[in-house]
C-alpha cells in the first residue's frame, strides 16, 4: 500500500493498523515526498493478527509518502509494483495528536532545536564540502541567532592525519562547532539525525547544567534523550541511532553506554520518568 498524506508540516502521529491472517513481515516507510533520502520512520514488524504501528512526527513535511508492504512480496517502494491489492494484509491509516513531554528549555536550547530540525530535514539537499587548492572546505550552516554552527563535510576527517573517521558527528568542546558527515546522515532517518545532533549539543551546552563534565558521554546521551523525547520523537528511532553508531565502534564503554540508554528508554516508555500529555487540537490529513 502506498499513500500520499497532506501532513503540512504539522506535529502529528501517523497510525497504521495492520491485520493479517498469518505471520507476515511488514515494513513501513514514511518519507518526504519532495526530498530524496528524507525518511521520518522506517521499521519492520512481524504481524500475526492485529498490530498498530506509529510514526511520530513532531515536525512533518508538507507531503508524506507512506509505504506499507509485505517484505516477502514484490509490493514495495521502487520495486516491481506498488499497489493496494496485496492479499497478505489489510491496513488502515489515520492521524492522531502527538504526545509530547513538556520540560523547561532555555532560549538557546529552543534556538538550537529549530536550527537542528531545519538542518535534519534538509541534510540530503544541502551542499557539503568542496576541495580548494587541496584543502577540504566544509559548507557552513548557522542558526538564526548566530550562536550555533554546523560544518558539513561529505565525510569527517581526523584533523591530524587527514584520514576519514567513523563518527557521523562531533562537536568542538572549545568552539561549539558541530561537524557532520553527509555520507552518514543520508543513511539516518530524521529522528536519528535529531538525537545525534542533540547528543553533540548536550556535550557543550547541557552537561554543565546537570553538573557533568563536557566530555561525559553518558550524560550527553541522557541529556539529549530528555530533549528529544520532550519534543515527541520516537523511542525506536533513538534505539536505531545509537545502535548504528555503536556498531561502528563496538567497545566495552559503548556497550555499557547502550545498556544505560536502553534502560532509560524503557523507563521513559513505561511512563516512569516523564509527564506526558496529549495535545487536544484535531489532526487530519
Determine how many CB atoms are found less than 10 A away from the CB of residue 112.
Answer: 23
What is the reported pLDDT for 81?
A: 43
Please state, rounded to an integer, the average pLDDT across all residues of the chain.
92
Q: Is pLDDT at 156 greater than 90 in this prediction? A: yes
CA dist., res. 68 & res. 258, Å (int) = 30
CB 210 within 8 A of CB 219: yes
Pair type for strands 178-181 and 149-153: parallel
Q: What is the 3-state secondary structure (H, E, C) of 34-85?
A: CCCCCEEEEEEEEECCEEEEEEEECCCCCEEEEEEEECCCCECCCCCECCCC
Q: Is pLDDT at 272 greater than 90 in this prediction? A: no
Residue 261 sits at φ, ψ, to 5 deg, of -60, -45
Pair type for strands 277-278 and 90-96: unpaired
Q: What confidence tens digit (pLDDT) does each residue in 6-33 have?
A: 999 999 999 999 999 999 999 999 999 9
Could you tell me how far CA 240 lies from the centroid of its own chain? 9
Helices then strands, each counted (H, E), the chain: 6, 15
Of the pLDDT bands very low, low, confident and very high (cuts 50, 70, 90), residue 127 is: very high
What is the reported pLDDT for 32?
A: 98
For residue 252, give the 3-state DSSP assignment.
helix
Q: What confidence tens digit (pLDDT) does each residue in 114-126 have?
A: 999 999 999 999 9
What is the reported pLDDT for 84?
A: 58
Q: What confidence tens digit (pLDDT) does each residue in 160-201 have?
A: 898 999 899 999 999 999 999 999 999 999 999 999 999 999
Q: Is pLDDT at 280 greater than 60 in this prediction? A: no
Residue whose C-alpha cell reads 513538556 in the numeric block = 102
- Locate 128 and state its grid cell: 557539503
Phi-psi region of 162 (alpha: psi -120 to 50; beta: other; left: phi over 0): left
3 CB-near residues (< 8 Å, 6+ apart): 65, 66, 68, 93
Amino acid at each position: 500500500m502506498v499513500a500520499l498524506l497532506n501532513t503540512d508540516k504539522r506535529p502529528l502521529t501517523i497510525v497504521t493498523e495492520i491485520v493479517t491472517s498469518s505471520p507476515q513481515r511488514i515494513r513501513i516507510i514514511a518519507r518526504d515526498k519532495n526530498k530524496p533520502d528524507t525518511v521520518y520512520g522506517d521499521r519492520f514488524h512481524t504481524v500475526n493478527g492485529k498490530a498498530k504501528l506509529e510514526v511520530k512526527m513532531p515536525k512533518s513535511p508538507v507531503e508524506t509518502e507512506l509505504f506499507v508492504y509485505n517484505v516477502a512480496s514484490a509490493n514495495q517502494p521502487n520495486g516491481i509494483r506498488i499497489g493496494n491489492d496485496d492479499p497478505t494484509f489489510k491496513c488502515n491509516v489515520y492521524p492522531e495528536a502527538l504526545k509530547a513531554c513538556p520540560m523547561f528549555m532555555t532560549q538557546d536550547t529552543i534556538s538550537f532545536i529549530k536550527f537542528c530540525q531545519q538542518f535534519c530535514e534538509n541534510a540530503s539537499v544541502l551542499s557539503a564540502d568542496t576541495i580548494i587548492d587541496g584543502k577540504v572546505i566544509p559548507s557552513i550552516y548557522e542558526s538564526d541567532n548566530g550562536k550555533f554552527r554546523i560544518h558539513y563535510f561529505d565525510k569527517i576527517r581526523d584533523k591530524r592525519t587527514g584520514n576519514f573517521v567513523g563518527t557521523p558527528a562531533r562537536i568542538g568542546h572549545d568552539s561549539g562547532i558541530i561537524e557532520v558527515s553527509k555520507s552518514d546522515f543520508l543513511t539516518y532517518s530524521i529522528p536519528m539525525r535529531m538525537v545525534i545532533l542533540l547528543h553533540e549539543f548536550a556535550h557543550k551546552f547541557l552537561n554543565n547544567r546537570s553538573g557533568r563534565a563536557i566530555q561525559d558521554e553518558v550524560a550527553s546521551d541522557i541529556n539529549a534523550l530528555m530533549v528529544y523525547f520532550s519534543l515527541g520523537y520516537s523511542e525506536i528511532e533513538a534505539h536505531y541511532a545509537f545502535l548504528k553508531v555503536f556498531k561502528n565502534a563496538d567497545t566495552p564503554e559503548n556497550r555499557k553506554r547502550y545498556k544505560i540508554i536502553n534502560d532509560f528508554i524503557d523507563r521513559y516508555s513505561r511512563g516512569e520518568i516523564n509527564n506526558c500529555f496529549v495535545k487536544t487540537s484535531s489532526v487530519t490529513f
